[in-house]
Structures are given as structure tokens and as C-alpha cells.
Chains A and B, each alone.
Chain A
Amino acid sequence: MSNDEFISTGIDKLDRLLEGGILRGFTTLIFGSPGSSIEILSKQLSITGSVLYFTTEETKDEVVKTMSRFGWNPENIDFVDIASKYSQTILTREEKRVSIYEQRSKLKIKELIELGSSGMAPLVREEEDFLAILSNKIRLSSFEKIIINSLDFFLSRYSQEEVLRTLHAAKINNIEKKSVLFIIMTRGIHGDIFERRMEGIADCILELEVIQKGSTFERFLAVKKMRNYAKKIGIARYVIDSDGFVLEMIERIM
């Protein structure tokens, strides 16, 4: 599967397109767009090797369910189920909101004054610090592959600067541990400057593109950047079948 230098992506033809897989220590940025089946790709990437998988949109159960539909075994995967944690926070907050709304009218102003004039303000944390979870898990990781699906979640909650700082740290960690790091994000919603900066961090950039041709859609997977391996840049058309991503018609750009 993977020799010492490379780690297999888990997709044979993609490994072939990349001539062996992803170099250890590399950070790979994957741009997806709606309808590009990026969710399937991210799962397929995790079928080989030992994997640390951050899932922000789908819960662990949903990911496992989809994987089993393709016959992929999730046993080698350690999930960080941010989606579940987040939805729990939302539910708790909404419950609290409703109950407080009900109570508000019953609050006695005298009691409030009494409470407010004594004691300490509670240290409230609105929700868990998901970025800290991400950072810490990666720091402690001894997995071959780390998949962040997706960065969009963190970018909707934290400033771009904060996210970039965490990713820089993750990148350094990834180099030291000789693992591979996949970061998935949606193209076109975080601004050009941020995308450029992410492209600067990444050693390898993959992009899934969907192009409408007449009444059909053509899907392409492009290798847009491969640090120090310019000849690996290329593009392949792909389809999704019962085995997941199937790459066909590989074309080299250089």
C-alpha cells in the first residue's frame, strides 16, 4: 500500500495520479463545491491507515452509516465528533432559552437586586472551544492520517487569524509526526485572500470541480499543487459508483 515515503490516499487511481500517494509530512488542502461528492471523498480517504477524523457537519453515526453503504470499514478510524457536540450545545442552549423565557415574567425584581448585589458572576462559556479541541487532538495524535472535514465549521466560529494559527501548528505537528493532514474546505465562501493563504500553507492542493455540459455534469479532480513535484500536477475525470470515487482519463499538465 504505502512505502516509507508515501502514504496511500486509499484510492488506487488517485495514488497513481499522485505517483505513490501523499508524501509523509504533507498538508493537503482539498477544495470542494456543492455536488462534488466531497463528503464521499473524505470518507474514502480514511479507509486505509490509522486515521483521526474530525467531522463537523455529519455525526459519527452518519459517517459510519455512509461508509458501510460503500462497504468501507470504519474500525481504523478515531472520530472526533464535533457535529454531535455542537448539536448538543445548540439543543441545551435552546432549552435554556425557552425555560428562561418562561421564567422571565416570574422573576421578582427584589430577588434580582438581591442576587446582583452579592456574589460573583458565573464564568460562562457559551460553548466548547472546538478549535482548541482540534488543536489539542492533532498535537497528541499518533495517527498516519488526519482528516479535517471541514474547515468551514471552524471558520464560521473563529476568526481567520485564529484558524490559521491553529493550522500552522497542526502543519508543524504533521511534519514532525510524518503523518499526512487533509483539510477540506469549500471554495468561494471565505474570501480570496484567505484561500490564497491556505494555498500557501498547503503542500498539496486537490480540487473537485463540477462542470455542466449540456444536460450532464462532468466531474474533475485536479491536483493543483504538489510541493517539489511539479510533474505530479494533473487532472482526472471521476464518477461515483458503488465503490466510491472512480478516476478515469488522467491527464498530466506538465
Chain B
Amino acid sequence: MSEGMVVSEGRITVEDVVCKTGIDELDVQLDGGIPVGNTVLMVGSSGSGKTTICMQFLANGARQGERGVFFTITEPLFKLTKNMQGFDFYDKKLIESGMINLIDLRIISERLGLDAEKYTVEDASALLEVLKDIADELNVKRLVIDSITALCYRLQTKEMIRDFIFKLGSSLAAMNCTTFLTSEVPPNEVKYSQYDIEEFIADGIIFLGDVDRSGDLIRTLQLIKMRGTAHSRIKSAMSISSKNGIELTPLLKSRA
């Protein structure tokens, strides 16, 4: 072992190996945080809080000096910022200073000539290259694609989806960039992805759902899978408030 390596090894801190989401209870459940470089699928139906968690993840990172990028496919930029303005974790300065970059992937795609309904293999690899180049150029440590479902829709076969997510995940991991991919599923369905592929490629799955408690719907969050951690698998109640953003509390078991 060379001396150089010993020195660098000596500098390794918790922050180098895990990426803290900044949502305290979630980090506890994750046994510290998400292993750096993991690709995590954030699964939920519409309105389940996927986008908010991802934004909070980026904002928390930015405050610790980790640059992030949010690729939106489903929502235009102005809507995204408008929805975030209500949250205390959101700060316009994070965007102005370039710590969080919001990028409309449709504009990029259009520029690349990828405005067709279906991507060819070449289209997909061109897009992949650009995503990597952007992540590299901005030197981001946290990346979000909202949603991967919308992207997979354009990839014509399961092999293309598999290839795309796998290559994206591995190149981002090489940059020590931790990735959230949001996955849209129909409500009340225990399914982690639309195309049944995404969940196998991802290193982690966070499932956002609902439970019915005497007629009231309670938001829930559950860690289904996270490679490289001894994580909890309990289902927690999740609340979204403008002051604290995402908060998790134990889901009280009760007889309905």
C-alpha cells in the first residue's frame, strides 16, 4: 500500500461514504444516509410527495456544499419553482448561486433533435452522453430525474430501459453522484415501476404510499431496498409542511 493511499484513507469521513438526505428520520432509517453513488427509485402515485422529497434532498445537499441538478420532464421550470416557494427549505439563492440547477430535459432533448415520441438506440445514447456531460460540467454530487417513467416511455424496449438506467447509474456512481429517479405508479398498487425494469436496476427503492385510517388517508414512506446499508423496513407516516418540508413519524398501529 502506498503512502498516498494511506493518507487519503485517513481522510475518509462519514460524508464520503453516505449521502445524507437531510430528512433526519429518513437518514436514521438509512443507517446514516444513502451510500454515495447509489441510484434510488422514488416511487409513488401522483401527489405522493416524490418531487418535494427530491427537492429537499437537493436543498439539503446544497447547504452542505454539494451541488445538485434537477432534470424535469413532467413539469415546466416555472411551475416547479412556484411549487417550491412555499417551503422553508427552498431558497432562491440556492438556484441563483448555481448550487441547485433546474433543467428542463425537454428543452435539451429538443436541442438534440430528440423530439420524437420514441427514441432510437442512438437517441438514447446521445441523451445519456449529455446527461453525463452536464453532471460532469456542473460537478454535481446529487442528481434527480423527475420522472424516469416519462423517460422510459420514450425508450422502446425493456432492454433499452435497462441499458439506459444501468449506464446512467454507473457513470454517475463513478462521479460519486447520488441519484434519485422518480417513478410514477397508479395509486393503491404495490408496484415499484411502470415498466417492471427500473426497480431491478436501482440500488434503492423508497416507496411513498397511503394508508387508510378510519377514512382518513395518511401518507406513508417505506424503504424497500437500499444496497449497502442495514436499513429499516418500517412503514412511517409522512407529513409535508411548509415549515419543515418532509417529516417522518412512526406509524401508530391501531385497529381500524
A residues neighboring B (CB under 8 Å): 93, 96-97, 100-101, 104, 107, 109-110, 112-113, 115-122, 124, 126
- Is B110 in contact with chain A by the CB < 8 A criterion? yes
A116 partner, pick from B78, B105, B116, B126, beta carbons under 8 A: B105
Output the residue of B101, B115, B138 with the most chain A CB within 10 A: B115
CB of A97 within 8 A of CB of B113, answer yes
Give the distance in Å from the alpha carbon of A246 to the alpha carbon of B220 in the complex: 74
A115 partner, pick from B76, B107, B113, B117, beta carbons under 8 A: B107
Contacts of A93 in B (CB 8 A): 116
A112 partner, pick from B106, B113, B130, beta carbons under 8 A: B130
B76 partner, pick from A104, A107, A121, beta carbons under 8 A: A121
Contacts of A118 in B (CB 8 A): 77
- Is B111 in contact with chain A by the CB < 8 A criterion? yes
Contacts of A122 in B (CB 8 A): 106-107, 110, 115
Task: Please give the distance in Å from A98's CB to the nearest CB on chain B.
Answer: 9
A117 partner, pick from B102, B130, B137, beta carbons under 8 A: B102
Report B95-138 CB contacts with A as 1/0, cut-off 8 Å: 00000011111111011110111000000001000100110011
Task: Please give the distance in Å from A106's CB to the nearest CB on chain B.
Answer: 11
CB of B113 within 8 A of CB of A96, answer yes
Contacts of B110 in A (CB 8 A): 121-122, 124
Give the distance in Å from the alpha carbon of A119 to the alpha carbon of B104 in the complex: 8
Q: Which residue of B lies closest to A120 (CB)?
A: B76
CB of A117 within 8 A of CB of B134, answer no
What number of residue pairs across chains A and B have CB atoms under 8 A from each other?
A: 63
Contacts of B102 in A (CB 8 A): 117
Output the residue of A109, A116, A117, A122 with the most chain B CB within 10 A: A116
A104 partner, pick from B77, B103, B112, B137, beta carbons under 8 A: B112
A121 partner, pick from B107, B126, B133, B138, beta carbons under 8 A: B107
Give the distance in Å from the alpha carbon of A136 to the alpha carbon of B134 in the complex: 45
Give the distance in Å from the alpha carbon of A101 to the alpha carbon of B113 in the complex: 8
Give the distance in Å from the alpha carbon of A112 to the alpha carbon of B108 in the complex: 6
Give the distance in Å from the alpha carbon of A117 to the alpha carbon of B102 in the complex: 6
Q: Which residue of A lies closest to B136 (CB)?
A: A109
Q: Which residue of A lies closest to B106 (CB)?
A: A121
CB of B115 within 8 A of CB of A117, answer no
Contacts of B104 in A (CB 8 A): 116-117, 119-121
CB of B115 within 8 A of CB of A115, answer no
Contacts of A97 in B (CB 8 A): 113
Give the distance in Å from the alpha carbon of A115 to the alpha carbon of B104 in the complex: 9
Task: Please give the distance in Å from B39's CB to the nearest CB on chain A.
Answer: 21
CB of B111 within 8 A of CB of A112, answer yes
The secondary-structure label for the interface of chain A is: helix
The secondary-structure label for the interface of chain B is: helix
Task: Please give the distance in Å from A93's CB to the nearest CB on chain B.
Answer: 8
Give the distance in Å from the alpha carbon of A122 to the alpha carbon of B111 in the complex: 10
The contact sample of 5 A-B pairs, CB cut-off 8 A, is A116-B134, A117-B104, A120-B78, A122-B107, A126-B117
Besides A100-B112, A121-B106, 11 more A-B contacts (Cβ < 8 Å) are A93-B116, A100-B113, A107-B112, A112-B111, A116-B105, A120-B76, A120-B107, A122-B110, A122-B115, A124-B110, A126-B116
Q: Which residue of A lies closest to B78 (CB)?
A: A120
Give the distance in Å from the alpha carbon of A164 to the alpha carbon of B194 in the complex: 27
The 9 closest A-B pairs by CB, nearest first: A100-B113, A121-B106, A116-B103, A124-B115, A116-B108, A109-B133, A116-B107, A109-B137, A121-B107
Give the distance in Å from the alpha carbon of A116 to the alpha carbon of B133 in the complex: 14
Give the distance in Å from the alpha carbon of A112 to the alpha carbon of B104 in the complex: 10
Contacts of A112 in B (CB 8 A): 108, 111, 130, 134
Contacts of B76 in A (CB 8 A): 120-121
Contacts of A110 in B (CB 8 A): 137
Give the distance in Å from the alpha carbon of A110 to the alpha carbon of B137 in the complex: 8
CB of B115 within 8 A of CB of A126, answer yes
Task: Please give the distance in Å from A115's CB to the nearest CB on chain B.
Answer: 6
Give the distance in Å from the alpha carbon of A118 to the alpha carbon of B106 in the complex: 12
Contacts of B105 in A (CB 8 A): 116
CB of B108 within 8 A of CB of A104, answer no
Contacts of B134 in A (CB 8 A): 109, 112-113, 116
Give the distance in Å from the alpha carbon of A101 to the alpha carbon of B114 in the complex: 10
Give the distance in Å from the alpha carbon of A50 to the alpha carbon of B238 in the complex: 67
Give the distance in Å from the alpha carbon of A112 to the alpha carbon of B111 in the complex: 8
Contacts of B107 in A (CB 8 A): 115-116, 119-122
Known: A112-B134, A118-B77, A121-B76. A107 touches B101 (CB 8 A): no
Q: Which residue of A lies closest to B133 (CB)?
A: A109
Contacts of A101 in B (CB 8 A): 113
